[in-house]
Amino acid sequence: MTNAITDFLQIRRSTLISKMTSEPLPEADIETILACGVRVPDHAVLGPWQIQVIQGEGRAYLGTHILRPEFAANNQDATPEGLAFEEERFLRAGAIFAVLFTPKEHPKIPEWEMVLSAGAVAMNITTAAQALGYGAQWVTEWYSYNDKMLAALGGTVGSDKIAGFIYVGEKSEAPTERRRPPRENVIGFYTPPVA
């Protein structure tokens, strides 16, 4: 049995950020992607994640106020070209969906399950954008591990983390196929031990 969704899931592919354009996304598409992003398994409805949509002027603002100065502070030998590239990182796509992992205290739900739920948000955003025909790529790069970026996106330093940034834009070039782990390495069909 197959259907359009399972057919799509077997062929979907990320598009490198360098192969997408920075045209803004229509608001309706942003809304569709967000609606898919928040519809994920979440044990006890804790909502241990946040999504920040970075688009329009917000892309350049974060470049000037976080990406460039933070890269400069951590890379003393950065060249002017390198700094310019860092400043313009978010201008590489029409919209960037930052997914924050925001764990909650709970007597029964371990933090690990909240981590998994945040990953599901990031994957749903990636899949939804690709299903709409956009190029999308989930990256962490260096600034997912930067406290100033985390704080700028509304995260609490010390407890929250950045699960990644999903860049979304029109494709300027179709992606080629990617090497995948051999199925036999990653899939098994459980058989109970013979008594």
Residues 66-85 that bind ligand FMN (CB under 6 A): none
Closer CB to ligand FMN, residue 106 or residue 139? Answer: 139
The closest alpha carbon to 62, from 83, 86, 27, 81, belongs to 86
Asked if residue 183 binds ligand FMN (CB under 6 A), the reply is no
Q: Report the residue from 64, 140, 159, 172 that binds ligand FMN according to the rule CB under 6 A.
A: 140
Binding segment for ligand FMN (CB under 6 A), chosen from 21-29, 47-55, 69-77, 133-141, is 133-141
Residue type, 13: R
Asked if residue 104 binds ligand FMN (CB under 6 A), the reply is no
CA dihedral 56, 102, 140, 26 (to 10 degrees): -30
- Taking the CA atoms of 30, 32, 34 and 36 in sequence, report the sign of the dihedral they define: negative
* Beta carbon of residue 165, minimum distance to ligand FMN (angstroms, whole number): 8
Cβ-based neighbour number of residue 181 at 10 Å: 8
Residue nearest to ligand FMN (CB): 14
Asked if residue 169 binds ligand FMN (CB under 6 A), the reply is no
**Angle at alpha carbon of residue 167, lines to 161 and 171, rounded to 5°:** 165
- Binding residues for ligand FMN, per CB under 6 A? 13-14, 137-141, 164, 178
